[in-house]
Amino acid sequence: MSGQSIERAFARCRDEGRAALITYLAAGDPNLETTVALAGAVADGGADILELGIPFSDPLADGPIIQAAYTRALENGASVRGVLDILPPIVEMTGLPVVLMTAYNPVLAYGVEMFCQDAAGAGASGLLVPDLLPEDSASLRETAHQAGLDTIFLAAPDITEERLSEAATHSTGFLYLISRRGVTGIHNGPGESLELEVARASQYTDTPIAVGFGVSTTQEAGRVAAEADGVIVGSALVRTAADILSSSRNSAKQDMAKEAIDSAAESVRHLTSELMEGIRAAGSGDRTKPIR
């Protein structure tokens, strides 16, 4: 099963005169059934790309919301294999490109070549490993690209020019530009230097630049969309679902659990739709200038 094209998703958004909306979900929180439902919800809300986090025990770049989601998922038995098993129905249902995000250790434990082959076979389109530096990633990049997977790297606001060049050069699909220092979460919106950071990164690549960390409202999504090619939202969606699902976790009644999943999915769909409204209202940033 071949994954959907990230490149085509961005091209479609450019044709529509707007930035892409990339939505993040923590796979397995609180179970894989819920993840499938939430994936359908973000697609219904207008998301263009789905980033799916494979839970791991030490997510250094993530704040308390996603850390708690991973803890719940791991306690309920989430695994790399389990996440890969739900990919085919998610891709078939949503039609979205799926980027898998995980630490390098789970990939190594699974086997790099086997992981890339199985991920691509299940329908994944890209891979993001936040604790793997671009300059140390040659083996993974080659294996991923042979399997048909894009590789996406992070660039922080205080990254050196050399590191930024490495991250931009080796990112296919898109470059993930972190909007502010710190970890993921619902902060006070993107950093004040957003425009300058996007312009700086644009000097090194014509690959789409997507901005994440701290984006949680319609207004913040619109601000990012006015500068970048993509808007990444994660913690706000994870928290929205978790707030609703937490009230039913101890319920023994299956119908109540199903009702909670449906309610969480509807809330996530609504938030996704609101974020898309902000993106459409902003149009898209001007990154059409010549590069280099």
Residues involved in catalysis: 51, 62
Beta-carbon count within 10 A of 33 CB: 13
| Number of residues that make up the chain | 292
Sign of the torsion angle spanned by Cα atoms 152, 29, 88, 114 = positive
Strands 209-212 and 126-128: unpaired
* 108 token code pair: 């190594």
Place of tokens 């996007």: 198
In whole angstroms, what is the distance from residue 88 CA to residue 62 CA?
26
Q: Name, in order, each residue with C-beta under 8 angstroms of 260's C-beta and a sequence gap of 6 or more.
A: 244, 245, 247, 248, 251
Token representation of residue 236: 């706000």
Q: Provide the b/e sequence for 250-282 (b: ≥16 CB within 10 Å).
A: eeeeeeebeebbeebbebbbebbbebbebbbeb
The Cα–Cα gap between 251 and 240 comes to: 19
CB 125 within 8 A of CB 56: no
Helix axes 32-45, 80-94, angle to 10 degrees: 30
Residue 235's H or E segment, with its range, is: helix 235-245
H helix runs in 99-149, sequence order: 104-110, 112-122, 138-147
